[in-house]
Amino acid sequence: MTYKRIVILTGAGISADSGVDTFRDPDGVWSQYDWQEVATPEGFARNPVLVHDFYNMRRAGLAEVAPNAAHTALARLERDSHAEVLIVTQNVDDLHERAGTTNIIHMHGEMKKVRSQCDGHVLAWHTDLSVDTPCPQCGEPGCLRPHVVWFGEMPFSMDRIGRALAECDLFVSIGTSGNVYPAAGFVAEVRAKGHAHTVEINLEPSEGHSLFAETAYGRAAETVPQFVDRLLR
């Protein structure tokens, strides 16, 4: 089967083989931090120092990790396939880009960007951020926040994602537990809107596994290159 428009949703599991913690695995991020304290606007308002430390630690960790074979395989698919390939990632790391992917949407934002709350300006940021960091726009300390989507906040580019889901003929979900909406609802949206083939590639069946026409379980660094080889044959 030759596909024309491929949408690939990725989650923390695709970065696991690079040494980046997932969220809901036994020793994952949410076993170390309370998501209500570090991944909600209310938590940030209550204790911005804790939230800045949480993102500073994860942002600094990006310097210690590299893309794995799964990221590289998806970049190869974009480069070598005749299809239009769009990566929609829930991840806030930059590993897809560092592997060479260019057509990508970070629906939950990016750790290497911050946003000024005075005027919504988004700027690249590679070092620590604190409540004392002066905002380049208004000069006020405490104005800058991580450019990531917290619980209760609207994910980015939802209109563009909705169109891509309606128009794709292949939807692949890689390395996500299917716990967090609206991303977890994408496979149902694809099934309702068209005739796309749907594939789940994960370490283990996700919450929504029964909604996928095809599944492949194993570590993404092994399963994704095999899947891409098949697509490019």
Catalytic residues, which ones? 108
Residue closer to ligand BV8 (CB basis): 169 or 221:
221
Residue 230 CB, shortest distance to ligand BV8, in Å, is 17
Amino acid, single-letter form, for residue 45: A
Question: Does 67 interact with ligand BV8 (rule: CB under 6 A)?
Answer: no
Helical residues (DSSP H) of the chain, grouped into ranges: 13-16, 29-32, 35-38, 41-46, 48-61, 69-80, 95-99, 158-167, 186-193, 220-232
Written as one letter, the residue type at 65 is V
Within 135-164, the residues that bind ligand BV8 by CB under 6 A are 148-155
Contacts 24+ apart (CB under 8 A), 123-126: 125/59, 126/59
Q: Collapsing DSSP states into helix, strand and coil, what is residue 103?
A: coil
108: contact with ligand BV8 by CB under 6 A: yes
Sheet with 214-217: strands ordered across: 104-106, 84-89, 5-10, 170-174, 197-202, 214-217
Examine residue 112 and tell whether it contacts ligand BV8 (CB under 6 A).
no
Instruction: Provide, rounded to whole angstroms, the least separation between the CB of residue 179 and ligand BV8.
Output: 5
Minimum CB–partner distance for residue 111 and ligand BV8 (Å): 7
Site stretch for ligand BV8 (CB under 6 A), options 43-51, 114-122, 159-167, 201-209: 201-209
Question: Which residues contribute to the site for ligand BV8 (CB under 6 A)?
Answer: 11-13, 16-17, 22-25, 28, 39, 90-92, 108, 148-155, 175-177, 179-182, 202-204, 206, 219-220
